[in-house]
Amino acid sequence: MFQHTPVLYDEVLEWMRPVSGGVYIDGTLGGGGHAEGILKACGDCTYYGIDRDPAALAAASERLAGYPGFHALRGNFHDAGELLSFHPGLKADGILLDLGVSSHQLDEGSRGFSYHADAPLDMRMDPAQKLTAADLVNELPEKEIARILRDYGEEKWAARIANVLCERRRQARLQTTFDLVRCVDAAIPRAVRRRDDGHPARRTFQAFRIAVNDELDPLDRALRDFVDMLSPGGRLLVITFHSLEDRLVKRCFQNLQNPCTCPPRIPVCICGKKPKVRILGGGAIRPRSEETERNPRSRSATLRVCQRLEEENA
């Protein structure tokens, strides 16, 4: 069964402000927890739920079968425009992105997302995708592996882990998640691992998961596309779980709010670039202590919200 605990549930409903007759897009449907809350709150609305994981789509579709306005779409939210091309000129009152790996994907050991379960090195959010973590781990050059670990995992021991990994794969192909964990353990000194706040392999797994699923590179463009799909006053809500995603979302929102490229000394803007959004909530919105105690996985979650400006100001 697809178990799903939506993070920042109350905050999403508060900032989304669902209204009857509205149009909403969920780019990362998952188990449908946020979707059900929004559908209940608005009573009568159109809700497009996108996900590339067929297990998530099946579970959410079953959960939301009683809502006639719900429509499931299989695909990547990066391609939302194409997925929704059957509705030309669609404008949404609210769009939600809950980025990263879901609780179900982590808990289903066979998917290869978790360093706590021995499983094939997979990490694909879309099982139909050909590229797996095993392909990257066993075939990429050492320098590229180090770059992935450094850029996507912010791993201080990236070069050493990449070196150990390449030494071991010369002896035998790395097949499982525990093979990868053992490489990390061998690369990071025991004293450092003892001081680490959390599992020492978590950054390595994050890095390969991001690389396998191409999570970061298309994100800025996707955020801008979603802003263009909002009605005036519509809101884009984005939940992130690590600093790389959060910084990217923060920079994008700030640029959309203040796109002017004129030198500071010029008293009047001459570049002609106008704001498209207004950032809401003071920037980062974090889970309440009650939620982090109830669901420890929510501790790293951050919600950012922006609102599309009226057309004449955009």
Res 195 pLDDT > 60? yes
Res 288 pLDDT > 60? yes
- Could you report the per-residue pLDDT of 254-285, keeping only the tens digit for each? 999 999 888 888 888 888 889 999 999 998 99
Q: Give the position of tokens 């497009």.
A: 48
CA dihedral 165, 169, 170, 173 (to 10 degrees): 180
Q: Is 301 exposed, middle or buried (0-12, 13-18, 19+ CB in 10 A)?
A: buried
pLDDT band at 3 (very low <50, low <70, confident <90, very high): low
Res 1 pLDDT > 80? no
CATH class held by domain 111-213? mainly alpha
CA dihedral 267, 268, 274, 278 (to 10 degrees): 40
Q: Please give the Cα distance from 260 to 12 (Å, whole number).
A: 30
Q: Please give the Cα distance from 263 to 274 (Å, whole number).
A: 15
Average pLDDT, the chain: 93
Q: Please give the Cα distance from 65 to 62 (Å, whole number).
A: 5
- Could you report the per-residue pLDDT of 224-233, keeping only the tens digit for each? 999 999 999 9
- Could you report the per-residue pLDDT of 45-65, keeping only the tens digit for each? 999 999 999 999 999 999 999
What is the residue extent of each domain of the chain? 9-100+216-313, 111-213
- What pLDDT, on a 0 to 100 scale, did the predictor assign at position 92? 97
> Are residues 149 and 204 in contact, defined by beta-carbon separation less than 8 angstroms?
yes
288 Cβ partners below 8 Å, 6+ apart? none
pLDDT band at 311 (very low <50, low <70, confident <90, very high): low
Q: Is 118 exposed, middle or buried (0-12, 13-18, 19+ CB in 10 A)?
A: middle
Give the domain 9-100+216-313 fold.
Rossmann fold (3.40.50)
Please list, residue by residue across 129-147, b when 16 or more beta carbons sit within 10 angstroms of its beta carbon and e when fewer do.
Answer: eeebbbebbbebeeeebbb
Res 197 pLDDT > 80? no
- What pLDDT, on a 0 to 100 scale, did the predictor assign at position 200? 92
pTM higher than 0.75: yes
pLDDT band at 72 (very low <50, low <70, confident <90, very high): very high
- Could you report the per-residue pLDDT of 78-134, keeping only the tens digit for each? 999 999 998 888 999 999 999 977 767 776 778 999 999 999 999 999 999 999 999
Strand order in the sheet with 302-308: 70-74, 46-51, 23-26, 92-98, 230-240, 302-308, 277-285
